[in-house]
Amino acid sequence: MDMKNPSRLQGERSASFDILTSSGGYGEVYKGHIQNNVTVAVKVLENKDVVRETFMAEVSTISKASHRNIVKLHGYCFEPNMKALVYEYMENGSLDKILYQNHHSNIEWGKLYGIAIQIAKGLDYLHNGWDEQIIHYDIKAGNVLLDSKVSSKIADFGFAKLMNRDLSRVPLTRTRGTVGYNAPETWMPGSHISFKCDVFSFGMLLFEILGKRSNGMEENWFPQQVWEQFKNGKLEIIFRDCGIMDKDKEKANILSKVAFWCAQYSPELRPSMIDVVLMLEEKIPVGSLPAPSNFCSSRIVQWYHY
């Protein structure tokens, strides 16, 4: 497929591309093949929804990334009548479908714990893997894709930002991310942000992995339920309700504590992703959590969003 020729892409799409899934208001995703019979997923965007800045941010960012836990970009097309991104094909779709739509699937919770580590390693690569730092801004279950072996890769870099390492924080120019995942500083006018906003989002994702469910909102906000049981020494109740078996309870306990650290209201209190990886891999201990108010105040953030 010649990605510089949109008419050819259109022709190949209609002739040999099968629709995979709808992508909401942003177009559709197709399964197809390029040279050497490589299977790909083609995200064809609706012209009316394409912002050149967002599109080129995704292309420029992901084209530089090369890591086993980052989805590979094979090519793209940006022409008046065709906007498309060509990614490696991920056979098992996105993580949200397992957590939300098929949470009674036979995937073991221990496998989900491994997926959490893989996502953490992908984020650590974005933050520390090269001269410039990449802030993803939109870490969530829908932007984690799973291959044939149910290994995970981070996708969708439309909101991503390259940041010079000489800068520890940059001014926020517009709200970024997804409600329920984005850190407090990403919607507060006049604030400065850092890679720690990705850490917060990852913490929210860890809670969803813990429960194999959406975090919900207001009085049903799952992180608050976990916190209430944790501070009362009754995390076993959460594990039981989530169907976590005895063999996985130690890892579930670690994951819960790491999630609390990542979801701290104050960015300065959140760990780096390399420390998150080491904690999840049990190579360093998870420290004692800060005062409860530091986490509980993040609940106010969720209510504000909704």
Q: Is-contact 237 253, C-beta < 8 A?
A: no
- Residue found by looking up tokens 């491994």 in the block: 114
Residue among 124, 138, 156, 275 flagged as catalytic: 138
Q: Are 78 and 69 in contact (CB under 8 A)?
A: no
DSSP bridge partners of 156:
none
d(CA 233, CA 236): 8
What single-letter amino acid sits at 304? Y
The closest of 10, 253, 297, 303 to 113, measured between CA atoms, is 253
SS3 sequence of the chain: CCCCCHHHHHHHHHHHCEEEEECHHHEEEEEEEEHHHEEEEEEEECHHHCCHHHHHHHHHHHHHCCCCCECCEEEEEEECCEEEEEEECCCCCEHHHHHHHCCCCCCCHHHHHHHHHHHHHHHHHHHHCCCCEEECCCCCHHHEEECCCCCEEECCCCCCEEECCCCCCEECCCCCCCCCCCCHHHCCCCCEECCHHHHHHHHHHHHHHHHCCCCCCHHHCHHHHHHHHHHCCCHHHHHHHCCCCHHHHHHHHHHHHHHHHHCCCCHHHCCCHHHHHHHHCCCCCCCCCCCHHHHHHHHHHHHHHC
Concerning whether 138 is annotated as a catalytic residue, the answer is yes
Question: Catalytic residues, which ones?
Answer: 138
